[in-house]
Amino acid sequence: MNRFFAKEIQDGKAFLESDESYHLAMVLRMEIGQEIEVVFDGRLYLARIKNNDKRQAEAEIICEKEVNSEPNINVTLFQSLPKGSKMDFAVQKCTELGVSYIVPIITKRCVAKAKEGKEDRLNRIAYEACKQCKRVSVPHVNKCKSLKDVDFSFYDLAIVAYEDENAVSLKSVLEKREKLSKVALIIGPEGGFEREEIDGLKASGVMCVSLGRRILRSETAGMAALTAILYHYGEMEI
């Protein structure tokens, strides 16, 4: 069944986003009376098309449906800004895997620079990825921040993947923790973290973990760690 995001639900009617209206009417050529799924504010509904106008499609809500596509653990990815389109790739794939929030960060060895308004593009990528993988909650991509300006005390667990950590694995940290609600996952840039950055993170309560014997690319490390976290807590089936 085709699924669409609504911008508003009022008086039992769902009003679709403008691009969703165009897709329904002009691409899929759906007709009045056909049933669709509608997503609004993290909830999923069964609805029937009432107006297939390409500028403002409307659907009548039939009932609310059960949602099982969202993880019960919120993982925020703090991704050091990589070069080129690698951030686009990381946002897309981590959205598909189940990340809750994404915060691009600037670290000392970042080559890429923060660009004004880039978060709009990244949020669009997250939105499209959500539609593709049938999620109902679109992860929000924040504006880029400096690593030193982030407060990690909000999280039940904050971990940083560090290539020079040999004693503590991600698995060993997770095995010592019961079910968590909020996790911060920090990933470094292509050149890795500087030692003083790691020392600062440790001083603020962040745990250094190893992701294994092989050094992963920055855009790969976040996906690998996110998958491991969600799998460990039963949020993924492999």
pTM of the model: 0.88
> CA-to-CA distance for 21 and 13, rounded, in angstroms?
14
User: What are the b/e assignments for 114-129, b being 16+ CB within 10 Å?
Assistant: eeeebbeebbebbbeb
pLDDT tens string 55-113 = 999 999 999 998 888 999 999 999 999 988 899 999 999 999 999 999 999 999 888 77
Distance CA 40, CA 43 (A): 5
Residue with token string 């004693």: 167
* Secondary structure letter of residue 210 according to DSSP: B
Q: What is the rounded CA–CA span in Å between residue 171 and residue 227?
A: 12
Q: What is the per-residue pLDDT across 114-172, written as a single tens digit (0 to 9) for each?
A: 777 788 999 999 999 999 899 999 999 999 999 999 999 999 999 999 988 888 999 99
CB atoms closer than 10 angstroms to residue 55: 8
Q: What are 44's two structure tokens?
A: 């999923």
Run of H or E including 185: strand 182-187
Structure tokens at 221: 């490390």
- Give the chain's mean pLDDT: 92
Instruction: Give CA–CA dist 89/189, Å, rounded.
Output: 15
When pLDDT is cut at 50, 70 and 90, the band that residue 1 belongs to is: confident
Closest to 161 (Cα-Cα) out of 227, 114, 115, 97:
227
Share of the chain above pLDDT 90, in %: 77
Contacts for 143 with CB less than 8 Å, ≥ 6 apart: 104, 119
Amino acid at 159: I
Q: How many alpha carbons lie under 13 Å from residue 51 in its C-beta half-sphere?
A: 11
**pLDDT score for 75:** 96
Residues 122 and 94: beta-carbon distance below 8 Å: no
The pair of structure tokens assigned to 146 is 């400096």
